[in-house]
Amino acid sequence: MAKVCVDEVIRFTSDCFKALGVNAKAACQQADMLYQADRIGYYSHGLNRLEFYVNDVKTGACQPNNEIKVEKETTSTAWVNANNVFGSTAAHFCMGLAIEKAKKSGVGWVAAKGSNHFGIGGYWAMLAAKQGFVAFAFSNSSPLLAPTRSKKPALGTNPIAFVAPGCNDDYFYLDFATTAVSIGKVALYARKGLRLPDGWALGPDGKVTNDAQAAMKTRSLMPLGGSEQSSGYKGYGISAMVEVLCGITAGSKYGHHIRTWKITNTSSEAANLGQTFIVMDPNHFAPGFKERVSESLTYWRKMEPVNPKLPVIAPGDMERLVGEKTDREGTITYVKRIIEITKKLAKELNVKPLKELPIKK
């Protein structure tokens, strides 16, 4: 384990991208996106993913210095060609555009094609919520989810993020994948030699497996809800809905047409992901929206828990608490594997290595 100062995380990450010729603005936006994931405890989407983004730039699969283009636009909608830039660059542009449209018409709906992985969706929805708006952020992704009754994957983890503002900087915050679990968590179980819980993944025979090694070879995750008997078809349906909103609406790659995303990719084939950003001004509806959000959050938190040691939490509380702890301490703790990845990248890209802080025992 190693502790690293927050500023150092952002410095190192942006230096890696700049070393590849990425312009300063895009490099800093991508670095902040990765840091924000680690900041709230979404470690699978932070420095853990840095190698993937670096490889995409090195192979030419991602071209972060390109220009984004608006292909079609109305007062409240826009169709955007992200032109293969970083997912963070595309998301900043699209969410900013959706916010401006919501300010004018009450609703902003922006769909983008030609994008790349945009990290945690909640980060983008929160940008709008901080300005008093309700917001969704959706993205499709490489096939990992096996539709109910199928042996093989055909849809991505296809995350959904939804954030609604309450009073006094309180928020309803929801950000989840439509698979039962992330492939990163399966990989973690495989590294530790642990057995998978039921309902996470399928084996080579298309049946539920508890063997993490077999699951990593198959790379076929079950939908949110698990098996058909435990309503996994709902997770499958939600994932398919996200695909309709993203790839199919935006005219990007969709579902089974999307490339597999691996560190070992040597092809310059673009991901061409589809993403959608929806922003709504609650002031166009019943007054008192923020007050009702906060009243609901407070009520849930004060409910009597089954276990007194595990209080009832509102959606987003865990992320908020971890984020506040990170801000308070000014550091993030990384496992040895992540630190080794940064050392490898520092050598390959000839950048100053990530400076570690001593951990008090």
DSSP classification of residue 246: I
- The whole model's pTM is what? 0.96
pLDDT higher than 70, residue 361:
no
Tokens standing for 49? Answer: 């993913």
Closest-CA residue to 41 (of 133, 173, 140): 173
Task: Report residue 297's pLDDT band, with 50, 70 and 90 as the boundaries.
Answer: very high
Q: What is the mean pLDDT of residues 290-306?
A: 98
Q: At how many degrees (to 10) do helices 317-329 and 24-39 cross?
A: 110
Nearest-angstrom CA–CA distance, 338 and 220:
25
pLDDT of res. 1: 86
Closest-CA residue to 140 (of 275, 285, 271): 275
CB burial string 14-45: b at 16+ within 10 A, e below? bbbbbbbebeeebbbbbbbbbbbbbbbbbbbb
pLDDT of res. 265: 86
DSSP letters along 119-141, please? S-HHHHHHHHHTTT-EEEEEE--
pLDDT digits (tens, 9 = 90+) for 146-182: 999 999 999 999 999 999 999 999 999 999 999 999 8
Of 86-95, 187-196, 197-206, 223-232, the one with minimum mean pLDDT is 187-196
Q: What is the mean pLDDT of residues 272-294?
A: 98
Task: Please report which helix (H) or strand (E) contains residue 297, including its range.
Answer: helix 289-301
* Residue that is written with structure tokens 């809905």 in the block: 241
CB 114 within 8 A of CB 87: no
Task: Please report which helix (H) or strand (E) contains residue 239, including its range.
Answer: helix 232-243
Terminal Cα distance for the chain, rounded: 12
Tokens standing for 148? Answer: 């109910």
CB burial string 292-320: b at 16+ within 10 A, e below? ebbeebeeeeeeeeeeeeeeeebbbbebb
Task: Report residue 191's pLDDT band, with 50, 70 and 90 as the boundaries.
Answer: confident
Nearest-angstrom CA–CA distance, 75 and 153:
38
Task: Please report which helix (H) or strand (E) contains residue 7, including its range.
Answer: helix 6-19
CB 2 within 8 A of CB 336: yes
pLDDT of res. 264: 86
pLDDT higher than 70, residue 346:
yes
Strands 134-139 and 107-115: unpaired
Q: Please, what is the average pLDDT of the chain?
A: 96
Q: What is the mean pLDDT of residues 267-294?
A: 97
pLDDT of res. 188: 84
Task: Please report which helix (H) or strand (E) contains residue 349, including its range.
Answer: helix 336-349
Strands 77-81 and 107-115: parallel
pLDDT higher than 80, residue 43:
yes
Distance of CA 208 to the CA centre of its chain: 26
% pLDDT > 90, the chain: 94
User: In this structure, how many other beta carbons lie within 10 angstroms of the beta carbon of residue 266?
Assistant: 10
pLDDT of res. 92: 98
Task: Report residue 249's pLDDT band, with 50, 70 and 90 as the boundaries.
Answer: very high
pLDDT of res. 124: 98
Which domains are present in the chain? 1-59+330-361 (1.10.1530.10), 67-180+221-326 (3.30.1370.60)
pLDDT of res. 112: 98
% pLDDT > 70, the chain: 99
pLDDT digits (tens, 9 = 90+) for 118-143: 999 999 999 999 999 999 999 999 99
